[in-house]
Structure 1
């Protein structure tokens, strides 16, 4: 039964957020779907129940989501719009070191970079990500990390490590 409850809880919350409804039909449907998802994949997704149920990690996840949607996305969209209008860009692929250790943390960082306009992770291994960047300002790995993913890693560590 390891991982069933946290997976079902996350699936239920996601279902309700995406449907945007708290009607009884949607709550019951969401509950049924969440239990099914939890039973089917919970044991594969969660390695330790204690970590997954830690409310501090969930709080950091919520804080990260709000920060990402309001700050990171807004800054990146504005930057890409300006670069598109002015034609001022210097695209390229840079090697960026990654310090997070767990697969979940690496996935969060890579997805955050890819979902943010102007950057796409094209490859990832245990030590480095290779990021296609719309405006390469440095090819120095540590400096590129500071500009591209330092904040993402900070939150990933608090949530998943």
Structure 2
């Protein structure tokens, strides 16, 4: 039964957020869907129940989501708009060292970079991500990490490691 409760909890919360309703029908349907999904795939998704149910990790997830949507996305959209209007950009692929260890943390960082305008992760191995960047200002991996992935990794460590 490992992983069922954390998976079902996350599915139930996600279901309620996406339906936008707490009517009895939606609550019952959400519970049925959450338990079903938890039983079917929970043991494959969750490696450690105690880590997954840690409220501090859930709080960091909420903080990350708010920061990502309000700060990271806004800054990136404005930067891409300015570069598009002015035509001042220097695209290229850069090598970015990975500072997180778990697959979940690496996935969060890579997806955050890809979903942010102006950057796309094109390849990933155990030590590096290769990122197509709209405005290459440096090719030094440590400086690139500071500009592209450092903030994302900080949150990924708190959530997944």
Band of TM-score, shorter chain: over 0.9
Confirm whether residue 114 of structure 1 aligns to residue 90 of structure 2. Answer: no
Match of 2:59 in 1: 59
- Could you tell me how far apart the structure 2 residues matched to 1:145 and 1:79 are? 18
Alpha-carbon distance in structure 1 between the residues aligned to 2:137 and 2:55: 39
Residue 35 of structure 2 aligns with which residue?
Answer: 35
Provide the residue aligned with 1:49 in structure 2: 49
State the distance in 2 between where 1:83 and 1:24 align: 49
d(CA) in 2 for partners of 1:34 and 1:116? Answer: 30
Question: Counterparts of 2:105 and 2:142 in 1: how far apart (Å)?
Answer: 19
Shift in Å at residue 108 of structure 1?
Answer: 0.4
Corresponding residue of 2:70:
70
SS in 2 for 1:153: helix
Rounded to whole Å, the distance in 2 between the matches of 1:117 and 1:30 is 33
Q: Tell me how far apart the structure 2 counterparts of residues 13 and 115 of structure 1 sit (CA, whole Å).
A: 23
**How many residues were matched structurally?**
161
Q: Aligned-pair RMSD on alpha carbons? A: 0.8
Partner of 1:122: helix, strand, or coil?
strand
- 1:42-92 deviation digits (Å, cap 9, x = unpaired): 000111111001111111111101100100011001111111111111111
Cα distance per residue 1:78-134 (max 9 Å; x no partner): 111111111111111000000100000000000000000110000001100000001
**Counterparts of residues 1-161 of structure 1 (less than 5 Å):** 1-161=1-161
For residues 112 and 47 of structure 1, the distance between their equivalents in structure 2, rounded to whole angstroms, comes to 22
Mapped to 1, the partners of 2:20 and 2:90 lie a distance apart of: 40
Gaps of 5+ in 1: none
**Equivalent-residue separation in structure 1 for 2:21 and 2:55 (angstroms):** 24
- Using the size of structure 1 for normalisation, the TM-score is 0.97
